[in-house]
Structure 1
Amino acid sequence: MRILAIAAFLGLSACASGISASRPSDTRPEWPTVVLEAGLGDGAASWRSLRAALPGDVPVFAWSRAGYRGGALGELIGGGPLWPSDADGRRTGAEIAAHLHEKLIQGGIRPPYILVSHSIGANYGLSFAKAYPEEVAGLVFVDPRLPGFNRACKAEGLRLCEIPSILAALMSPAERAEIRGLEETEASLADLSSIRDIPVTILTAERGSPTSDPRMRALWQSHAARFTQGFTHSRHIIVAGSGHYIHHAEPQRVAAEILRMAVSTR
């Protein structure tokens, strides 16, 4: 069984990734740009099905965070080059947001943005929105591991609230850096009042992650529902029959929610 599949079992998804960014030449300027932020270990390749489900005139920017080489070979040799900011062994949401913002500027991808984030990537979407609120038109989270979940999980006395150290030791340096930086990232997101008026949609999976424990699944969903209450304009949708990778199993459903938000924010 692949190590990275176990990470997905814990709700911190991981698999192959590649660097990819695109903006169709026939895009209509009134559409916000859809920016795709993947889960732990994932990258632009994880969004292939969703990108195919979106209309061709919707501008899309997909990227891979540094250190995810992609494919089985990438897993064996530990991923690709890291960012200089990873030298301290931690990768925080603020650092990831800054790198993403730089990529958008370099690519000439102008705001407004709708940030679509999967799993642990939700923390990075929130970090970007908090750092650049005037550039964000909306947030769509796909079965997200939201700030405060670990704390809520431990309070309920559940097991596997965090990635076991033995599994973390077998991850790539980039993944370990993100895990080590998660506490600081969540601390920086404790107060989200400055972005409470940004529209938020959360799609949670009915089954699959973070574990098979029905109590964990119920907490995962209820935590997402409570999280939406902190925003002025929010939707929480439980996707029936779906597992953690909703954007793989139900790309049309995710695309529909993105387009719904795009239309409402135009």
Structure 2
Amino acid sequence: MNASPNAASGQVANLASGRVAYATSGQGAPTVVLETGLGAESAEWQAIQSALAVSCRVFRYDRLGRGASDRPSTVRHAGHLVDELHALLQATATSPPYLMVGHSFGALLARGFAQRYRDEVHGLVLVESMHPRQFDVFANAFPLPNESDTPEQARMRTFWTGGWRMPDATPERIDLLASLDLYREIMPLGNLPVTVVTAGAFSNSRFFPTTTRDALQSQWEGLQRELLQLSTRARQIMAPASQHFVQRDDPDVLIKAVLAMLGDIRLRG
């Protein structure tokens, strides 16, 4: 038991696939499970974890290849990662029910977790969720390379225009092609509470010319709206001032969304 609801405890679990670092804080059901996107550590959830831990138990972890966890020994896809998270929750005595909160690729995993372990999941918050068609839609939107490109712009262009197909493009060695194929079709989750949080990821992005941002943003919002088909109790929340990493740019919108869903879950029993 933690000394206070805001104090996270950094620990390591030994799984068959390797040592996985995790942190928990707070008490009370359902447990909020925070799932990170690509290219980020779970520590970026710390402020949100601290805010939520006043009301419930919160769990975050570093997937293999991230943070303090071991490096992965093999290439894996989203299905493997979903089962690995379930094994981690069991190994750490983190019992259901769960309220899954995922960002970007982590939202794809949270959605997959809800599909595979539907009886254990009581709510789903998808933050700027990776969409199975996003690379097809936006790969050609990037301007051609030029000498004024920053290293970050060059990396983004390389990844979106084909690098994402190579598992070794990320330290997690994820087969994104297989991962996206797993969730190309919307598999309805019944009346599971689902909140889709959509940011101004393209309208605020410095990677695209100002003349194309509004059109790209409209396409992105359309892809995000498709996720509302996941549930009869799905809703969309907009974070127009935020870029893709809402947990960095507008954490309050996520805290409010999770707390609202938490209250709804508890009210309905």
Aligned-residue Cα RMSD (Å) equals 2.7
Question: Is it true that 1:203 corresponds to 2:197 in the alignment?
Answer: yes
1:82 aligns with 2:84: no
After superposition, the C-alpha distances for 1:74-128 in whole angstroms (9 at most, x for unaligned) are xxxxxx63344xx2xx321110011100110011111111111111211111111
In the alignment, the residues of structure 1 paired with residue 97 and residue 162 of structure 2 have an alpha-carbon distance, to the nearest angstrom, of 39
Cα distance between partner residues in 2 of 1:63 and 1:192: 27
Unaligned runs of 5+ in 1: 1-17, 71-79
* Structure ranking higher in strand proportion: 2
The amino acid that maps onto 1:43 is E
- Is structure 2 residue 101 aligned with structure 1 residue 116? yes
State the partner residue of 1:255.
255
**In 2: Cα distance, 1:223 partner to 1:236 partner:** 12
Paired position in structure 2 for 1:76: none
Q: Please state how far the C-alpha of 1:54 moved relative to its aligned partner.
A: 1.8
| 1:265 and 2:265 are equivalent in the alignment | yes
Runs of 4+ in 1 over 4 A off after TM superposition: 164-172
The Cα of 1:227 is off from its aligned counterpart by 2.2
Aligned to 1:66: 64
Deviation of 1:158 (Å)? 3.2
Once the two structures are aligned, what percentage of the paired residues are identical? 26
Contact 1:94–1:131 (8 Å) recurs in 2 = no
Amino acid at match of 1:118: H
Deviation, structure 1 residue 254: 0.5
Question: Alpha carbons of 1:20 and 1:209: their partners in 2 closer, same or farther (altered >3 Å)?
Answer: farther
Shift, 1:172, TM fit: 4.4
Q: What's the secondary structure of 1:193's corresponding residue?
A: coil
Q: What is the correspondence of 1:114-263 to structure 2 with a 5 Å cutoff?
A: 114-153=99-138, 158-159=141-142, 163-164=160-161, 171-174=169-172, 177-178=173-174, 181-206=175-200, 207-209=203-205, 211-212=207-208, 213-214=212-213, 215-263=215-263
How many residues align structurally? 226
Q: CA–CA distance in 1 between the matches of 2:113 and 2:206? A: 24
Letter in 1 for 2:47: S
> Partners in 1 of 2:94 and 2:167 — Cα distance?
37
| TM-score of the aligned structures, taking structure 2 as reference length | 0.74
Residues 130, 243 of structure 1: alpha-carbon distance in 2 compared, 3 angstrom cutoff: same
Distance (whole Å) between structure 2 residues aligned to residue 162 and residue 99 of structure 1: 25
Structure 1's 150 and 161: CA in aligned 2 closer, same or farther, altered over 3 A? Answer: farther
Which secondary structure state, in structure 1, belongs to the residue aligned with residue 160 of structure 2? coil
Counterpart residue number, 2:148: none
Assess if the C-alpha contact under 8 Å between 2:66 and 2:171 holds in 1: no
